[in-house]
Amino acid sequence: MGSRKHGPGDQTVTLAERASLFRQAHLQAQSQGDAVLVDRLAGQLHVLELQQATLEALQHLDRDGDEWQAQLGELRDELQGLAVLYNEYAARFKVWYMGGCTDVMIWWHIIITHME
């Protein structure tokens, strides 16, 4: 449910709800001792948290229009991959400073870590 895309007629699951589902699944995997699943869920949760931070940063930009609202809607409603988050949002709109970090290298560190 946490990573499932919604279709026509489906109820939209917010990023906060998805994060909660991932945290619950992560705790369940930890309690079962499934190290592979724990690592995978931790990575997905980290990317989702980056997506939330990216969305919050973009909402503070002074932009308007239907295309802008559609882009925000995509971030709000669908999980994005790490490369999409960086290329289509963080780098494009220069909001890679999540959590007060202004160094773009933190993004590359995260990408490389998740590719291993």
> Which one-letter amino acid corresponds to residue 94?
K
pLDDT band at 32 (very low <50, low <70, confident <90, very high): very high
Whole-prediction pTM value?
A: 0.73
How many separate domains does the chain show? 1
Residue 88 belongs to a domain? yes
Encode pLDDT of 38-97 as tens digits.
988 988 888 888 888 889 888 888 888 998 999 899 998 888 988 888 888 887 887 766
Residue 34 belongs to a domain? yes
| The predicted structure's pLDDT at residue 61 | 86
Q: What is the CA radius of gyration of the chain?
A: 15
> Which one-letter amino acid corresponds to residue 1?
M
Residue 86 belongs to a domain? yes
Residue 6 has pLDDT above 60, yes or no: no
Residue 19 has pLDDT above 80, yes or no: yes
Residue 7 belongs to a domain? no
Name the 3-class secondary structure at 63. Answer: coil
What range defines the domain where residue 71 resides?
15-115
Residue 64 belongs to a domain? yes
